[in-house]
């Protein structure tokens, strides 16, 4: 089976892109620029030292992301309702903080699920059982799978 090909007026050809992720369309340069400015400002720590831009990728617990994200959500909501934020920051700042926490949480989930799937493979369980990033998820699912008489996992 051959895939359809696009042909440009120059004669150049490429595969069609109808089923490919359109990151340029999904993302806003205005939002990414504002978020980058927010992140750059927050590289300076309370002691004056400068942390690496990817410092957060070393790992932050999900609970820390959730608690911080919820505080920023409350401030976003307050600002939306015309009230002051608890920090005195703008709604833009609160939204950037919320994006940070949601992105970091998702980053940790994706990392954890990859590690969890590897653990399950080592235990001889089918991939796809890791649905949560909780540290006990793989162990609990392994135990549940072993209790299942027919090995169906349900």
pLDDT of the residue at 41: 96
Tens digits of per-residue pLDDT, 41-74?
A: 999 999 999 999 999 999 999 999 999 999 999 9
8 Å CB contact between 94 and 79: yes
Q: CA–CA separation, 10 vs 4, rounded Å? A: 18
Mean pLDDT of 98-102: 98
- Helices and strands (H, E) in the chain, number of each type: 5, 2
């Amino acid at each position: 089976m051959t895939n359809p090909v696009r042909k440009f007026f120059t004669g150049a050809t490429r595969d069609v892109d109808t089923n490919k992720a359109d990151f340029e369309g999904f993302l806003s340069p205005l939002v990414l620029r504002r978020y980058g400015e927010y992140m750059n400002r927050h590289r300076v720590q309370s002691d004056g030292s400068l942390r690496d831009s990817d410092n957060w990728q070393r790992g932050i617990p999900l609970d820390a992301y959730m608690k911080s994200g919820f505080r920023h959500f409350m401030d976003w909501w307050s600002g939306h309702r015309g009230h002051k934020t608890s920090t005195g920051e703008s709604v833009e700042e609160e939204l950037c903080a919320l994006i940070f926490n949601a992105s970091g949480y998702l980053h940790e989930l994706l990392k954890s699920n990859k590690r969890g799937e590897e653990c399950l493979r080592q235990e001889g369980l089918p991939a796809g059982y890791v649905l949560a990033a909780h540290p006990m998820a793989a162990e609990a699912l392994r135990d549940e799978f072993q209790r299942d008489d027919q090995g169906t996992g349900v």
